[in-house]
Amino acid sequence: MSASDLAAFVSASPTPYHAVAEGVRRLTEAGFTEQVETAEWDASPGGRYLVRDGTLLAWRQHAPSPLRIFAAHTDSPTLKVKPRPDTGAAGWRQVGVEIYGGALWNSWLDRDLGLAGRLALYDGTVVPVNVDRPLLRVPQLAIHLDRQVNSGLELDAQRHMLPIWGLGDAREGDLLEFLAAEVTINATDIAAHDLLVHDLTPPARLGRDEELLACPRLDNLASVHAGLTALIAATGSDTTPVFVGFDHEEIGSGTATGAAGPLLETLLTHLAGGFDRRDRIFAASRCLSVDVTHAAHPNYLERHDPDHRALPNGGPTLKVNANQRYATDAPGAAAWHRACRTAGVPTQVFVGKNTVPCGSTVGPITATRLGIRTVDVGIPVLSMHSARELCGVDDPAYLSAAGEAFLADPT
Ligand SMILES: [Zn+2]
């Protein structure tokens, strides 16, 4: 149930903007109402959400109580369309792209790709667009023209990652005219765009007993989905549960809507009853930083610490790093273990191999900004940052159940 609902969430969310819109749809269905960012702060009790671009914040408001925050990110590595996209050569029309985040470039080759994002018009409106059918393809060079390819594929980001999308000569304005027709507006009204490429293969149950979920953007829509599910279910009043899905984690979080920006701090200050009163509330608060973790890869076991491997369907994984690439400490870890025990779900512990530096995520950044104790966790995923990733089919439900227990825990 949870895995198929996650698959539906991912399919509805080809970009952070669409993930936010789908999150808003679900929150609205659950009775949450919008706090418009430019409007006066509404301090009355109830479920609220706030949207800025690709970032979504949601919370249940009542009298100030310890904050329990579920933090994730809405973005995934992909290809992003350049401002002047119309290009091509040798009779092929192509789209100029940059690489967004740390994508596994080879995974984008020879796939049928869609294109989605938002169009910003001269009149100030923003129009979402989603071409969710085969439109683009980044064609790989045939092996006959590169006999060495299987001992090391080399890709040049400027020359080799350009998708084709038609035949004929490149013509300035072509792509925007096509997209304008998709959403029935005039191309001349479009002033700018944020457009991202997405994989079109639908999510699928995979394996002998269908115990795996193959899916694009598990990093990190699996966590966004679990966080929204947990918040909607968390109806107690001993804590103030908060969900945040930040944009821009894959490019370092240092943006206006990223984890290093001010949005979460502004919200939490409101929820704590103002700047003068927030210190005491923050000191009693806790953040669960949720991002996928590396499942032990059966073909590359030497890349993992033998005693701290994350296994699929073994439950969401506590992430620990002595150098605080993950923000987990012992009291935070205890809070996580308590949440898993309350929810009755399994959990495991991941530590990277000492000689293989691990990644990082939103947790250490928000912890540094706010001084709120933070725990890093996430479900095990294989092929992370590929156009298509793989996880155990039970782990998403374990994560949302543990997340719900964490949000409700006043201890
Ligand atoms: Zn991530």
C-alpha 36 to ligand 1 mean position (Å): 27
pLDDT for 202 beyond 90: yes
pLDDT for 367 beyond 80: yes
Nearest to 279 by CA among 287, 264, 269: 269
C-alpha 33 to ligand 1 mean position (Å): 28
At residue 358, the pLDDT reads 82
Q: Which one-letter DSSP state was computed for residue 255? A: S
C-alpha 375 to ligand 1 mean position (Å): 15
Nearest to 119 by CA among 177, 198, 41, 61: 177
pLDDT digits (tens, 9 = 90+) for 32-50: 999 999 999 999 999 999 9
What's the average model confidence in pLDDT over 283-293? 97
C-alpha 384 to ligand 1 mean position (Å): 8
At residue 359, the pLDDT reads 83
What is the phi/psi pair of residue 60, to 5°? -110, 120
C-alpha 324 to ligand 1 mean position (Å): 16
C-alpha 258 to ligand 1 mean position (Å): 13
C-alpha 70 to ligand 1 mean position (Å): 14
What's the average model confidence in pLDDT over 48-72? 96
pLDDT for 344 beyond 70: yes
What's the average model confidence in pLDDT over 176-199? 98
pLDDT digits (tens, 9 = 90+) for 124-170: 999 999 999 999 999 999 999 999 999 999 999 999 999 999 999 99
pLDDT for 306 beyond 80: yes
**Position 15 confidence tier, pLDDT thresholds 50, 70, 90:** very high
**Position 63 confidence tier, pLDDT thresholds 50, 70, 90:** confident
pLDDT digits (tens, 9 = 90+) for 229-282: 999 999 988 999 999 999 999 999 999 999 999 999 999 999 999 999 999 999
Can you list the pairs that 171-178 forms with residues at least 24 positions away whose Cβ atoms lie under 8 Å? 171/86, 172/84, 172/86, 173/86, 174/86, 174/93, 175/81, 175/85, 175/86, 175/95, 176/85, 176/119
What's the average model confidence in pLDDT over 349-356? 94
C-alpha 273 to ligand 1 mean position (Å): 31
C-alpha 222 to ligand 1 mean position (Å): 10
CB atoms within 10 A of CB 213: 29
C-alpha 277 to ligand 1 mean position (Å): 33
What's the average model confidence in pLDDT over 49-55? 98
pLDDT for 1 beyond 60: no
- Please give the Cα distance from 138 to 140 (Å, whole number): 7
- DSSP H helical segments within 74-195, as ranges? 174-182
Within 262-308, strands assigned E span 286-290, 293-294
C-alpha 399 to ligand 1 mean position (Å): 15
Q: What is the mean pLDDT of the chain?
A: 96
C-alpha 185 to ligand 1 mean position (Å): 35
At residue 156, the pLDDT reads 96
C-alpha 368 to ligand 1 mean position (Å): 18
- Please give the Cα distance from 252 to 245 (Å, whole number): 14
Tokens of residue 406, six digits: 């964490």
C-alpha 166 to ligand 1 mean position (Å): 33
